[in-house]
Amino acid sequence: MLLYGLLLLSLSFWTSHSVFKIPLKMFAGKFNASVQLDLRTLRKNQSAVESGLSLASDPAGIVNFLDMINNLKGDSGRGYYMQMVIGTPGQTLNILVDTGSSNFAVAAAEHPYITHFYNRALSSTYQSSGRGVAVKYTQGEWEGELGTDRITIPQGPSGTITINIAAILKSEGFFLPGINWQGILGLAYPLLARPDPSVEPFFNSVVGQTGIPDVFSLQMCGAGVSASTTADPAGGSLIMGGVEPTLYRGSVWYTPVLEEWYYQVEVLKLEVGAQNLNLDCKEYNSDKAIVDSGTTLLRLPGNVFSAVVEAIMQTSLIEDFSAGFFEGTKLACWMRGESPWRLFPKISIYLRATNTSQSFRITILPQDSTGSCDLVPVVV
């Protein structure tokens, strides 16, 4: 499977006990595109049409992705989710989009942090496999039962799709206060599926049953949105089957997936302002660097984290900036109406392009990760 349009995902550099909260923003850079993307419209798959499934399309039968634009809600603090209808009759749930896992799982029991859950007993099309399943994430874990059921995606490929579904019966640290989603959509490769790779991931099922190309693109636009709002704004788009050209400007850059389990990539270097950290490439990729839409954190190995903090303290225009901010023991605040962003450096992450002699950078701006209140902590 190909993952295109990584515009606002977060990177995780494992293993690490340091957390550095930085949403990512694509920087166009000065290089030519390493790969030309064919954005010509895609024809329907005839076998999918004969099975009663079709793509979001115009009357002429040419596939387009306009129906999928803005099908995500959420923000960089609480995650990005889309609406799905599960079972027969349909039960509507919001599902977190996660490129860092491979199981499709939904709450199937009451939990104090969710408003409703998927009731298997009310679905005539649910079938239990009789197998237990458990998944542990960087934050949180759950246990449940595997089965299958039918789903429809209001702003996705048309038709009804039968998918593997894990019913979450017990969890710890997974559902959190303030979230507005009741399940998780794992978009990574089958190797990460639990309890074993024989459990076909959601998107593989969608591709097989609709005939869409084995490509999805993900745009997340919630950086800088306050997590204190009660209603989640439109947060972006999950385009299943290709790339929607109206969602970006310029050329699309690609970085190779080194191994098909997570979306594991290669980080070449980090810069704070114009200062190259000059660390060995192995330091940045220890023990893996992955692109993960399910977390809002940039996680760094300990040595890299320390180097980034030191460089920020050296380049920041704030006198006597406390290291306690980065250790989570102190806040840096300013009064409403003031703008301190010019006091902090940009951070740039360089990734290898598909043409291995080239690279491109993702530049992170200080203002991309703040909310709004009378006194606002500076989250760089």
DSSP letters, 149-217, are EEEE-TTSSBS-EEEEEEEEEEEESSS-TT----EEEE-S-GGG-SS-TTS--HHHHHHHHH---SEEE
Interatomic CA distance for residues 170 and 143, integer angstroms: 5
What are the C-alpha distances in Å from 330 to residues 23, 71, 315, 325?
Answer: 21, 38, 19, 5
Annotation marks residue 98 as catalytic: yes
The answer to whether 44 touches 54, Cβ cutoff 8 Å, is yes
Interatomic CA distance for residues 175 and 132, integer angstroms: 20
Determine which one of 67, 75, 292, 368 is catalytic: 292
Closest CA to 29 of 185, 255, 305, 238: 255
Determine which one of 75, 98, 149, 368 is catalytic: 98
The answer to whether 362 touches 24, Cβ cutoff 8 Å, is yes
The SS3 of residue 297 is coil
Closest CA to 89 of 48, 116, 118: 118
Interatomic CA distance for residues 128 and 186, integer angstroms: 20
Residues 6+ apart with CB under 8 A from 203: 1, 187, 216, 240
Annotation marks residue 58 as catalytic: no
DSSP state for residue 343 in the 8-state scheme: G
Which residues belong to the active site? 98, 292
